[in-house]
A and B are shown apart, each in its own frame.
Chain A
Amino acid sequence: EDQVTQSPEALRLQEGESSSLNCSYTVSGLRGLFWYRQDPGKGPEFLFTLYSAGEEKEKERLKATLTKKESFLHITAPKPEDSATYLCAVQFTGATNKLIFGTGTLLAVQP
């Protein structure tokens, strides 16, 4: 069964304390992996798309990487405004633009 698992479920960091969020997937054929940020009560905001193993994308303090079985979202020197839920989604072969979402990682950055 195609599945996306995110860990940890929740993460509390001190401002400036770098860390990584994990998204592992078991799909029959990966076509694309997406990272989103979601603030409470709002819709997800698109961050990155990764297509193949070895690919990396960066935006400010965030860097997303992809291997054959998982993706990491690295957060360098986080600030309180980085606090949010980070969602991972996967599109797999044979599913026209259908995404499978993980349950997210709730990140809290303390000042």
Chain B
Amino acid sequence: DGGITQSPKYLFRKEGQNVTLSCEQNLNHDAMYWYRQDPGQGLRLIYYSQIVNDFQKGDIAEGYSVSREKKESFPLTVTSAQKNPTAFYLCASSIGAGGTPYEQYFGPGTRLTVT
């Protein structure tokens, strides 16, 4: 089955530690995205990548980093510089980016708790 996988489902970290969230897709999509979801707020874009080895900051990139070394993988690192990292993190992908507005397909999410 084609889809997007995120791991782990739940993640607990101590304050001051960096943590990396995994996102893999087998849909052969070019574009991938990371969002953050907090209660009472809409999804907010952290980073996105339109093609391998290229990525752009979204609206709330501070304290996060990404890499796109393979088409199917787009890991997100939450660094100790992120002031409020506890949230539900969602990875998404779309066929392309630019031109026609393509729908984005989401993974199951990772709930990160930092104490």
Contact = CB atoms under 8 A, between A and B. Distances in A.
Give the interface size bracket for B toward A.
20 to 34
Given A34-B103, A46-B103, A49-B103, A98 B50 contact: no
Given A41-B109, A44-B90, A4 B101 contact: no
Given A100-B42, A101-B42, A103-B42, A43 B109 contact: yes
A105 to B, nearest CB: 12
Given A43-B90, A103-B41, A96 B104 contact: no
Interface residues of A, number: 25
A55 B32 CA distance: 28
A104 B101 contact: no
Main secondary structure of the interface of A (DSSP, over half): strand
A104 B42 contact: yes
Nearest to A3: B42
Interface in B68-115: 90, 92, 94, 96-98, 101-109, 111
Given A43-B106, A46-B105, A102-B42, A96 B98 contact: yes
The 7 closest A-B pairs by CB, nearest first: A32-B101, A101-B42, A43-B106, A97-B97, A101-B43, A91-B101, A31-B101
Interface of B: 4, 6, 31, 33, 40-45, 48, 50, 58, 90, 92, 94, 96-98, 101-109, 111
6 contacts: A4-B42, A32-B101, A36-B106, A43-B92, A43-B107, A44-B43
